[in-house]
Structure 1
Amino acid sequence: MSLPATHREVRLAALPEGALTPGHFEVVTAPVPVPGPGQVLVRNRLMSVAAVMRPLALADPDTFGLPQLLHKTGEVMRGPALGEVLRAPGTELAPGTLVHHRAGWREYAVLDAARASPIDPEALPDPAAHLSQGFAAWLGVVRGAGVRRGDTVFVTGAAGGVGSLAGQFARLHGAERVIGSTGSRHKADRLTGELGYDAVVLRGAGPIEEQLRAAAPDGIDVLLDTVGGEQLRAALALARRNARFALVGALSAQLSDDASAPTGISTLALIARGVTLRGISAMDHQDAMPAYLREFGRALREGALTYPYTRLTGIGQAPRALCELVAGRHLGAVLVEL
């Protein structure tokens, strides 16, 4: 097939200091890249936008080992995308194959064949679900906290891409009571009315610990944390004996100007109550992907779980989509159709 000479891509124009705005990005026209041996040229069809993509600077990025979270001024943004293979010289990928990769934020991408994962069209009923943050949610529930029957579970950032699925996975794994946190009454109502949450703690509506104590007077068994900060401290104050905390995000720091900001917690409380505190990253658990896809696909097909997302059209909408997501304007995932 004939290819255009140019395409559009989104570059970081400046690192934000304070609120993120579309002005921190620029949509530019660039030549369509040409694949070399062992590489694939992909026409991106759908990309995801997540709050964790907010550009940030770390004084010592090597300390965290998370280069995928860092963007330099002038560079093309990165993130998960689904695309169609157009050319793949010297590889086993055939043109027309739908692949998942991390070179989003551009209409065409060239990447090594090993970084393009073919999508099984039978695995999930909606191809867009391959761009969900469900794997992080599932890992937090299954491997991070080991949710079991009868648990009271607190999910921070419950209206986000991870939290909107984490509460549902917790319920599927036997949780008796699921409590979430969010920033608006509208989203709180959707969490309880559509996504199976029993109660919601509202940021800005009073101390988190007091609200959580009212929602879980007997304490919590599990924390699935995407936020950190005050909400992590509140969860520890309400932790039952042998509670399990799975930390899958740190948005309170990442959405601030100090991405490495610490959270002060009582180590004595951890010891006295036997609380397990575990950070969990999808990069370390790729062996679990088949089991996750089986469970996620089955739950979607049976209607036992829903995947909420907002879809916008056109790569030019991507900067606005990220700014709105960071500002709390959307519930669930945000996707951009290219």
Structure 2
Amino acid sequence: MTSSTHIQLASRPTGWPAPENFRTAVVELPALAEGEVRVANEFMSVDPYMRGRMNDVKSYVPPFQIGEVMNGGAVGRVVESRDDSLPVGTPVLHSQGWRDIAQGPAADFRAVTELEGLPLSVYLGTLGMTGLTAWVGLLEIASLKKGDTVFVSGAAGAVGTMVGQIARLKGAARVIGSAGSTEKVDLLTSKYGFDAAFNYKDGDIAGQLAAAAPDGIDVYFDNVGGEHLEAAIGAMNDAGRVALCGAISQYNTTEPTPGPRNMANLVTRGLRLEGFTVGNYWQHFGAFAEQTGAWVAAGDVVFDETVVDGLENAVDAFLDLLRGANTGKMVVRL
């Protein structure tokens, strides 16, 4: 029999997760049934949304169960197959992360094309769910128009860097980002094409945003929530649009967080705030993949990855992600 090492949820955290909320287990896998494949994972994803799944609350995706493996995006290669559609050696994308060996019906695994000079992990970020999230939020939810001024919070993360680049390529007049260090701020303007960026840890987010966007903003892509959202509402031009993607500043709080104090602007300026989860917009994946793949091939879209080696370090990678230690996509290389 073949064994698989799993990272399981050991207990539900209160506030910030800690290593003791996780445990490692070795699981014996049954022999493959007809129509199934076995995959050796090469990269797995850690994502902010996983923090919400550690809570036993109703949400858009079921919570992780105590004593069971934590799932998430992963890419790997078929090492055993009983389905002709996925022969041995095929690189595949799937949702059985947080383990070294995955297996199941072939329909649960999607074959991907290896791209010259790029790791398979690109399908977890730029050409995967991360990139699609940026695409949907900016174009479908916020209805970006040519000439818009766009503000992105958490702009040096995997989604944020993509939002800024798509906005620029789609004709935004000005793209502004916030990040949590001087190095990340510099990267936004030097590598990712942002017109301006600021360090939110310097304080006075509203004042820094006003200085970066003296004529106001038309679109806000929110990854952070809290003070960032209030500042963006204050800077919005008439008929501004907000895509609510995440609120990482609130994921580990133990007390209710106050909402923005300037919500009356939604009425007086005719603003629109809309939340979304990318799982409801997979119908746009074809258009996204075709356009973004061409941009990546042409060098018009670039990306960074923060790579952590070893499944045994996956928990540390996840905790570091929640602290903002990553630049671009955080992945674990198995």
Question: TM-score normalised to the size of structure 2?
Answer: 0.90
Query: Which residue of the partner structure matches residue 183 of structure 1?
Result: 180
State the distance in 2 between where 1:90 and 1:262 align.
53
1:66 corresponds to: 61
| Aligned residue among 299, 303, 326 for 1:303 | 299
For the Cα contact (< 8 Å) 1:41–1:110, is it kept in 2? yes
How far apart in 1 are the matches of 2:137 and 2:189? 21
Residue of structure 1 in register with 2:121 after alignment:
128
Instruction: Tell me how far apart the structure 2 counterparts of residues 214 and 10 of structure 1 sit (CA, whole Å).
Output: 45
Matched ranges for 1:114-263 at <5 A: 114-121=107-114, 126-132=119-125, 133-257=130-254, 263=259
Q: Please give the alpha-carbon distance, in whole angstroms, between the structure 1 residues aligned to 2:132 and 2:175.
A: 19
Aligned-pair CA distance for 1:91: 6.7
Higher alpha-carbon deviation: 308-317 or 219-228:
308-317
- Structure 1: 5+ residue stretches without partners: none
Alignment equivalent of 2:105, drawn from 108, 112, 126: 112
The answer to whether the 8 A contact 1:124-1:130 is kept is: no
Structure 2 SS opposite 1:162: helix
CA-to-partner distance for each residue in 1:86-107, whole Å, 9 max, x for gaps?
Answer: 3443674333222111110101
Are 1:125 and 1:300, in contact at CA under 8 Å, matched by a contact in 2?
no
* 2:8 corresponds to: 11
In the TM superposition, residue 266 of structure 1 has moved relative to its aligned partner by 4.4
Query: What SS does the aligned partner of 2:253 have?
Result: coil
Corresponding residue for residue 294 of structure 1: 290
- Between the two proteins, the alignment pairs up a number of residues equal to 330
How far did 1:156 drift? 0.8
Residues 37 and 83, structure 2, Cα contact 8 Å, conserved in 1: no
Q: Which amino acid aligns with 2:61?
A: L
In the alignment, the residues of structure 2 paired with residue 171 and residue 302 of structure 1 have an alpha-carbon distance, to the nearest angstrom, of 15
Q: Report if the CA contact (8 A) 1:124-1:293 is conserved.
A: no
Correspondence 1:279 to 2:275: yes
Distance 2:16 2:220 in 1: 28
CA separation in 1, counterparts of 2:207 and 2:290? 39
- SS at 2:68 equivalent: coil
Q: CA deviation at 1:20?
A: 3.0
Structure 1 residue 78, shift from structure 2 partner: 1.2
With a CA cutoff of 8 Å and minimum separation of 6, indicate the structure with the bigger relative contact order: 1
Deviations 1:275-319 (A, max 9, x none): 121222221111111111112111111111111102222211211
Alignment partner, residue 322 of structure 1: 318
The RMSD of aligned alpha carbons is 2.3
- Determine if contact 1:124/1:296 at 8 Å carries over to the other structure: no
